[in-house]
Amino acid sequence: MRYLISFLQKHEDFRLAELNALLKMNGLAPSEVYEQSDYSQVSPYLVVNFPSEVVAAAVCDRGILIKAVMELWGDGPSYEAASAAAEQLDGAFVEPYYRADSSWAIFVDAFGLSLDLAQQAEARSHFRRLGFQGPVKCKDGDNVFFCLEHHAAGPTGLVPAGSKPSWVYFGREVCRSSRYDTAPGACAAWALLLKAMHCTLC
The segment with the largest mean pLDDT, out of 64-73, 153-162, 182-191, is 64-73
Mean pLDDT of the chain: 87
Q: Which of 190, 194, 196, 201 is nearest to 106 (CA)?
A: 201
Q: Can you give the pLDDT at residue 186?
A: 37
> Count of domains in the chain?
1
| Mean pLDDT, rounded, for 5-9 | 92
Residue 174 corresponds to which amino acid? V
pLDDT in tens, 22-59: 999 999 999 999 999 999 988 999 999 999 999 999 99
Q: Can you give the pLDDT at residue 129?
A: 94
Query: Per-residue pLDDT for 19 more than 70?
Result: yes
CATH of the domain at 165: 3.30.2130.30
Conformation bin of residue 10: beta by default, left when phi > 0, alpha when psi is -120 to 50 = beta
Q: Can you give the pLDDT at residue 1?
A: 92
User: Whole-angstrom Cα distance, residue 147 to residue 110?
Assistant: 8
pLDDT tier at 200 (50, 70, 90 boundaries)?
A: very low
Q: Can you give the pLDDT at residue 114?
A: 87
**Burial classification of residue 133, based on how many CB atoms lie within 10 Å of its CB (0-12 exposed, 13-18 middle, 19 or more buried):** exposed
Handedness of CA 10, 13, 17, 23 (dihedral sign): positive
Q: Which domain holds residue 59?
A: 2-200
Contact partners, residue 12, CB within 8 Å, separation at least 6? 41
pLDDT in tens, 83-106: 999 999 999 999 999 999 999 999
The segment with the largest mean pLDDT, out of 119-128, 150-159, 179-188, is 119-128
pTM: 0.85
End-to-end CA distance of the chain: 27
